């Protein structure tokens, strides 16, 4: 009986201990397609929609692409030839040396829809080789300080709408994606 009580007490103590973990769960504000990841009232990313089409008249084909564009010196993690949505659960984001991955300042194309003449595809396509959940790794740069993090994204395949489900940010050198 004493051993059972001791084990139960140790479990309660272990569960109740706080982690000294510098990462924070974030709830980015999306206002007018602008994203403030760290709630400092400075826009970090912008959700953009771009339409491209062929030059022939009338245009015989085209696409609409939704992307997340880092601004103010911020970056998104890219892996060639896969693109931006390649991270999965338990993957590690590193401030430096990301093994065949590059921090880019370019907009991250994340979902698109195509057309041939006036006929649009019935659904939008997520630009990823992975399956949900989708994660976008980012690096915020402010006043010489770097923070890394990830956004969990969700897509409406009928409308192309992009939703941010959750995010995490840290000033550590490495961050493991866990939800």
pLDDT of residue 22: 63
Determine the average pLDDT of the residues in 21-32: 58
Q: In the predicted model, what is the mean pLDDT of the chain?
A: 85
Is the pLDDT assigned to residue 64 strictly greater than 70? yes
pLDDT score of 72: 92
> Residue 5: in which H helix or E strand, if any?
helix 2-16
The pLDDT score that the predictor gives to residue 107 is 94
At 16, the pLDDT band (50, 70, 90 cuts) reads very low
Q: How confident is the model at residue 23 (pLDDT cuts 50, 70, 90)?
A: low
Write down the pTM of the prediction.
0.81
Note the pLDDT tens digit of each residue in 105-119: 999 999 999 999 989
Q: How far apart are CA 155 and CA 165, in angstroms?
A: 10
Cα torsion angle, 72, 133, 24, 94, sign:
negative
Closest CA to 92 of 61, 52, 57, 135: 135
Residue 160 near residue 113 (C-beta atoms within 8 A): yes
**pLDDT confidence tier of residue 142, bands split at 50, 70 and 90:** confident
Nearest residue to 170 (alpha-carbon basis) of 152, 147, 145, 150: 147
Q: Which two tokens stand for residue 48?
A: 């953009």
Supply 40's token pair: 């400092």
Q: Does the pLDDT of residue 78 top 90, yes or no?
A: yes
- pLDDT at res. 28: 56
The predicted structure's pLDDT at residue 147: 96
Question: Residue 150 — very low, low, confident or very high, per pLDDT cuts 50/70/90?
Answer: very high
Rounded CA separation 170/93 (Å): 11
In this predicted structure, the answer to whether residue 151 has a pLDDT above a threshold of 90 is yes
47 and 66 Cβ atoms separated by less than 8 Å: yes
């Amino acid at each position: 009986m004493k051993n059972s009580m001791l084990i139960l007490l140790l479990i309660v103590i272990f569960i109740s201990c706080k982690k000294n973990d510098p990462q924070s769960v974030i709830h980015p504000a999306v206002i007018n397609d602008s994203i403030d990841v760290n709630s400092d009232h400075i826009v970090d990313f912008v959700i953009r929609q771009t339409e491209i089409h062929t030059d022939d008249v009338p245009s015989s084909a085209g696409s609409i692409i939704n992307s997340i564009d880092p601004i103010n010196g911020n970056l998104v993690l890219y892996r060639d030839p896969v693109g931006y949505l390649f991270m999965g659960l338990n993957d590690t984001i590193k401030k430096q040396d990301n093994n065949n991955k590059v921090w880019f300042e370019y907009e991250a194309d994340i979902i698109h829809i195509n057309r041939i003449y006036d006929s649009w595809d019935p659904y939008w396509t997520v630009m990823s080789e992975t399956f949900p959940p989708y994660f976008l790794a980012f690096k915020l740069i402010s006043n010489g300080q770097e923070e890394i993090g990830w956004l969990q994204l969700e897509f409406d395949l009928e409308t192309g709408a992009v939703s941010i489900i959750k995010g995490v940010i840290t000033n550590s050198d490495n961050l493991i994606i866990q939800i």
